[in-house]
């Protein structure tokens, strides 16, 4: 008899955000007249920037005329898109060959797909609390997953110790959910660790555009990363493409294991398993990386940063400890004394109609914490902040 992938038995019943959306839907049906304040999943609320919209309109026009029509596009990315991403890195002093950049349909898709490059025996190390897809995708692929715990004691930035073991290592900076950002010196420790063990870092840079000040946006700002890291990024949070789906993955040509070149393997993988990403979307992506596009997306990022400040001010007034919110769109708050994160979730939903994300959903060590997203509408965020402050101050 055909055997299904039994690794699915090792997963929780439902994916974190899918489970939350079902709870919220049930609440909405039961209380159709109550407004909901969405500070849960990191989904953007600002429309796409004009530069991207115009480029995508033009690309649709291209598809309407025989002279400009495009059928299949190159599987690894339109050369202009790969060049545009490489140009974005060059602005920060990271020199990439455009052939080291691969187009993708977004970071979450890619974080699972990339596991194809590694033997099943490669164990994964995840710093936790963590974006749950790292763990779930690894479990689905039948990998052993171990955890390195982050907490207030290490500012949510764990570092390798002498007993740390890893083949594949997931790092996310700025971190989802905690908002913590590794410094250059700290990332150097991880790069040195990976190079010394032959491990590969899967670096999730989805929130890099929120960094303020002199902190690394990319693992490739760290010397030695080109022989031990793959960077996965997306335009979802950078440019509001959550519903549009576009991203990129950087695999250096210098990255080899056991005589096999991972860049060449990914070319083999993509040319087999995909027929590329829509011409129209890639044209939108190219426009994002123009000077004007970058100026426009920064305005949206500032909008979300204002929301984060409003939420942080409410927590300050309520005397609640929190992390993040400055270099990341997420605020990672401590739940009120003794309250479990899912109980806090229920309380916020039922009493003040705020949807957040329970820390426990990001791993056991997230218990006692709660994540607020700053990606909502500004007016709604102001109302939510007032309600939250009032609830937290209630005796
Ligand atoms: C999150 O809320 O953690 C993210 O929006 C989820 C995602 O990017 O898939």
The predicted structure's pLDDT at residue 337:
94
Residue 133 CA, closest ligand 1 atom number? 9
The reported pLDDT for the residue numbered 257 is: 98
Question: Does ligand 1 come within 6 angstroms of the Cβ of 368?
Answer: no
pLDDT > 70: percent of the chain: 100
- Return the residue whose CA atom lies nearest to atom 9 of ligand 1: 108
Give, for ligand 1, the residue of 43, 204, 304, 370 to mutate: max count of ligand atoms closer than 8 Å to Cβ: 43
Distance between CA atoms of 129 and 176, rounded to whole angstroms?
Answer: 8
Q: Is the CB of 178 under 6 A from ligand 1?
A: no
pLDDT at 102: 98
Q: Which atom of ligand 1 is nearest to the CA of 41?
A: 2
Q: What is the CATH class of 7-47+299-393?
A: alpha beta
Q: How far is CA 7 from the centre of its chain?
A: 24
Average per-residue pLDDT for the chain = 97
pLDDT score of 302: 98
- Cβ 138 under 6 angstroms from ligand 1: no
Q: Atom of ligand 1 at shortest distance to CA of 40?
A: 2
Q: How confident is the model at residue 332 (pLDDT cuts 50, 70, 90)?
A: very high
Tell me the domain boundaries of the chain.
7-47+299-393, 50-292
> pLDDT tens, 94-149?
999 999 999 999 999 999 999 999 999 999 999 999 999 999 999 999 999 999 99
pLDDT in tens, 357-387: 999 999 999 999 999 999 999 999 999 999 9
Average pLDDT over residues 244-250: 98
First-to-final CA distance of the chain: 60
For residue 336, the SS3 value is coil
Q: What is the DSSP letter of 4?
A: -
Residue whose C-alpha is closest to residue 362's, from 231, 233, 178: 178
Rg (CA), the chain: 21
- Determine if ligand 1 sits within 6 Å of the CB of residue 238: no
| Cβ 176 under 6 angstroms from ligand 1 | yes
**Would the pLDDT of 395 be above 80?**
no
pLDDT band at 13 (very low <50, low <70, confident <90, very high): confident
Decide which of 3.40.50.970, 3.30.70.270, 3.40.640.10, 2.30.30.50 is the CATH code for 50-292. Answer: 3.40.640.10
Closest atom, ligand 1, to C-alpha of 234: 8
pLDDT of residue 279: 98
Cα of 107 from ligand 1 centre, angstroms = 10
Phi, psi of 253 (to 5 degrees): -70, -20
CA 120 to ligand 1 centroid distance, Å: 26
Question: In the predicted model, what is the mean pLDDT of residues 303-320?
Answer: 98
Over residues 272-281, the mean pLDDT reads: 97
Report d(CA 134, CA 156) in Å as an integer: 17
Going by the DSSP 8-state scheme, the letter that residue 46 receives in this structure is S
Q: Which residues contact 306 (CB under 8 A, 6 or more apart)?
A: 378
Burial readout 23-60 (b: 16 or more C-beta within 10 A, e: otherwise) = ebeebeeeeeeeebbbbbbbebbbebbebbebbbeebe
Please tell me whether residue 330 adopts helix, strand or coil conformation. strand
Let me know: does 203 contact 229? Beta carbons within 8 Å: yes
Whether ligand 1 lies within 6 angstroms of the CB of 216 is answered as: no
138-180 pLDDT per residue, tens: 999 999 999 999 999 999 999 999 999 999 999 999 999 999 9
Question: What is the arithmetic mean of pLDDT over 218-245?
Answer: 98
Determine whether the shortest distance from the Cβ of 376 to ligand 1 is under 6 A: no
Strand partners, 212: none
Task: Find tokens 């190219």 and name the residue.
Answer: 286
Dihedrals φ, ψ of 202, to 5°?
Answer: -100, 105
């Amino acid at each position: 008899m055909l055997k299904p992938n039994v690794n699915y038995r090792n997963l929780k019943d439902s994916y974190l955000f899918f489970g939350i959306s079902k709870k919220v839907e049930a609440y909405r049906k039961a209380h159709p007249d109550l407004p909901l304040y969405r500070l849960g999943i990191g989904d953007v609320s600002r429309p796409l920037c004009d530069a991207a919209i115009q480029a995508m309109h033009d690309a649709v026009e291209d598809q309407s005329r025989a002279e400009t029509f495009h059928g299949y596009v190159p599987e690894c990315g339109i050369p202009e898109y790969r060049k545009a991403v490489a140009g974005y890195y060059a602005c920060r002093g990271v020199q990439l060959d455009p052939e080291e950049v691969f187009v993708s349909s977004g970071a979450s898709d890619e974080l699972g797909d990339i596991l194809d490059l590694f033997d099943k025996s490669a164990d994964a190390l995840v710093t936790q609390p963590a974006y749950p897809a790292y763990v779930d995708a690894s479990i689905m692929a039948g990998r052993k997953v171990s955890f390195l715990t982050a907490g207030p004691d290490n500012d949510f930035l764990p570092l390798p110790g002498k007993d740390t073991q890893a083949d594949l290592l997931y790092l996310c900076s700025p971190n989802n959910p905690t908002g913590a950002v590794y410094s250059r010196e700290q990332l150097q420790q991880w790069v040195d660790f990976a190079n010394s063990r032959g491990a590969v870092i899967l670096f999730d840079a989805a929130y890099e555009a929120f960094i303020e000040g002199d902190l690394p946006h990319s693992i490739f700002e760290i010397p030695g990363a080109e022989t031990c890291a793959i960077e996965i990024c997306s335009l979802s949070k950078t440019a509001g493409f959550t519903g549009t789906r576009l991203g990129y993955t950087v695999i250096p040509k210098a990255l080899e294991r056991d005589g096999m070149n991972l860049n060449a393997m990914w070319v083999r993988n993509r040319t087999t398993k995909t027929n590329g990403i829509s011409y129209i979307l890639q044209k939108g992506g190219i426009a994002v990386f123009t000077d004007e596009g970058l100026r426009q997306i920064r305005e949206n990022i500032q909008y979300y940063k204002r929301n984060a400040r409003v939420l942080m001010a409410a927590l300050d007034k309520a005397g609640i400890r929190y992390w993040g919110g400055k270099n990341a769109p997420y605020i990672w708050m401590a739940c009120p004394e003794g309250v479990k994160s899912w109980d806090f979730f229920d309380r916020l939903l039922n009493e003040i109609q705020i949807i957040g994300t329970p820390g426990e959903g990001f791993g056991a060590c997230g218990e006692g914490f709660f994540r607020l997203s700053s990606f909502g509408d500004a007016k709604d965020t102001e109302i939510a902040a007032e309600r939250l402050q009032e609830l937290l101050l209630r005796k």
